[in-house]
Structure formats: C-alpha cells, structure tokens
Chain A
C-alpha cells in the first residue's frame, strides 16, 4: 500500500501534531501516512494523538535525529 508522506522536520510540538491532524482529515480510513519529524516530543505526541482519535501507529523508526512515524487512518471510532 502506498503511503503519503508529511515532512514536519524542524517544527516543534504541537505543530507536528497539528500538521498530522490536517493531513489525516483529508485522508480515508485504511490509508497510511508517514510523518517525518525531528522534535523528540513528537515521538510521544503523535502516537498519543492517534490513540485518542482512533488511528493506529504502524511503526516508529528513529535514525540520526529523525523520527519516522507511520500511521494507518482509522474510521473515527
């Protein structure tokens, strides 16, 4: 399945979460989004946002200061 990509490097929380939310609002359940960020806070905030809003974190990969968080869009329940 193809993934959309969102680059929020350099942005500080809560901006990575806000940009993620804006992208997810335009997507359909089942689609995937990969968020690339550098703020360590996003490592916790984006998964927390996903949990409270019914989306699923598929994987989190950290490499040389970059964090890649893959999300599967939920149906809003």
Chain B
C-alpha cells in the first residue's frame, strides 16, 4: 500500500517497488486543506490550466489502482490538537504524516496488504522528514517496521519487508537532504518527463495568508472548530473583517462569484444592482449599522467605486431582498488591518 500524493517522490518510490515485481496499490487522502484541484476549479482565470488530479495521473502512469479517501472529520484532531505542534504556519506536518500512515496502515490490514511505502526522503522536509522524526512517524502510526521508505531505505534500519526478503534492500536507495537533483535524475532514468513540480507544500495550512484567515475564524467564533464549507471558503475571495462580529467574503472574479453563489442560502449576501460588482457573503452576526457598512464596502469593490451613489441589494436568507443606495467607501476609510 503506497501513499500517493501526486508528487514526484511517491511516484518514484512506487516505481522502485513495482520494478521488484510487487503488487502495489495507492492511497490518497483528502483532508479539505489539499491544494489539489479546488482553487483551480473555482477561479475563472485558471480554467484554461489543465485540470488533472495529480494522484490519479500518477497512478495511471504507474499502472496501479488508486483509492482516494476522505478524512475531513478525522483530520480535525490533527489540525486542532497536534501533539508535535505546528510548523511555520498552521501546518501540523509531523502529526499529519503520522495520521496518514496510520490510516494507510488500517487500510493495509483491512485489505490484506503486507507493508506500506512512502516517498519520504531523510532531511527533505524541516519538520516531518528528519532523521529523528522518521522513527516517530513509524511508531506513532502503528505501522512500525512495516513502513518502508524506498528512496532512503539504505540510510535506515532494515524494515520487515527487507528482512523477510519480500523486497531486495540492495535495489533501494539512499537519498537524503533537500536537493531535488537525485529525484530528477531518477525520474529521467524511469522516463518520467511530466510530473507535478515540487512546490514545498501540498496543503493550504503551509500558506501564511490562509493560516491567518483560519486563526481569525477561530477567534471570531470563540472556538477552534471548522467544517468543510468553512475551510473551502477560506480559499476563495477577498476576506475583510471590519468589526469583530462579522466579516465579508468578496468574490474577486466571475469564477469565485459563481462559487460563492452556492452559499447564498446560508449567508446574508450583497450585490450591486446599478453597476457590475462582486457577490459578497457576510459571515457573522451583523446589525443594521454593520450591513450599511457592508453595502458601502460592496459598492467600493464594484465598478461603481467612483460613482456618487451605488444601488446595492441585501438579501437575508428567508427574507425579501432589501435595496439601498450608498456612497462607496473610499479606500482611505478601509484600514489595512481589515484585510485578512
């Protein structure tokens, strides 16, 4: 059972094991924070980019089956209570790796597989792939010596698949460090000329701006909780918090507006009627004065930003829409601190 992220390292690790004549199937976890797919699908300007799920694409290149498993609910505990803490942002990388190997281990036991492989490389990542932390992942996941890292196996104690002779240790590798050169050379040897470029992170939690928005969400709600819609909406639009009791999510272009349309039944929302403009969702509990401010901000981000008056419609779910004319809020009246 192989953890397949869609990146090059796991692709190479699987290939090394396939070359030894071993049956491999891939597993890929969807946490809700995965960069893969979503944002490209939402944003209009990205719609000309090739849309492919890299994990599926890798599986197809390798000729293996791939199981994509949703772990949104279970993953919350990793994000909210990481035993090993966070990285530079809200990224609980070491706990995350342990969680994924643990899930793969459960899958392995349920489906009769013998061991797990990952594309980990010693020293590749500052937190989760250090010499000291690789054994932590093996121990805390429960996989123990049934966890094989083909790309750096020769730098580690032999695992059970090696000791039992299921895998030839001599044909495994000794990659270490942050350089990508050995992986690139191996990719070339295998004839892989198209693969997802290593970007240093496959997860929004490594993104500083996203982490700020997530921390703001928790602070505003007074509890560290989220659901899938919450974390999806953090990926979309311009987020402004003018007051502690509400924030605005402002679509930046047509694709984002279309995406936000799907949330109209759950949120107070505003749009401009006299000019082209964004769809704006209001998250929180605004009073009448707050909604006037929201309307002026909506006008500010519309094509009527320089007009004397802009007509805005406010719609509360379950109520008739209300129209009002407002003066767009001048940029000088929008403190930088409102932007999340």
Contacts and interface: CB of A to CB of B under 8 A. Distances in A.
Contact of A12 (B41, B64, B67): B41
B69 A18 contact: yes
Contacts of A48: 52-53, 56-57, 60
Nearest to B36: A14
A45 B30 CA distance: 14
A53 interface: yes
B60 A41 contact: no
Contacts of A52: 56, 59-60, 64-66
A41 B66 contact: no
B41 A39 contact: yes
A41 B53 contact: yes
B36 A44 contact: no
Secondary structure type dominating chain A contacts: helix
A17 to B, nearest CB: 6
A57 interface: no
B40 interface: yes
Band of interface residues on B: 20 to 34
B68 interface: yes
Interface in A3-27: 10, 12-15, 17-18, 21
28 contacts: A12-B37, A12-B38, A13-B38, A14-B34, A15-B30, A17-B56, A17-B68, A18-B30, A18-B68, A18-B70, A21-B67, A40-B41, A40-B51, A41-B40, A41-B53, A43-B51, A44-B51, A45-B53, A48-B53, A48-B56, A48-B57, A49-B68, A52-B60, A52-B64, A52-B66, A53-B65, A53-B66, A54-B65
Given A40-B41, A51-B60, 7 more contacts: A12-B37, A12-B232, A40-B47, A41-B51, A48-B57, A49-B68, A52-B65
A40 B34 CA distance: 18
Interface in B179-231: none
B94 interface: no
B100 interface: no
B21 interface: no
Q: With a 10 A CB-CB cut-off, give which of A10, A40, A45, A51 has the most chain B CB atoms.
A: A45
Contacts of B70: 15, 18
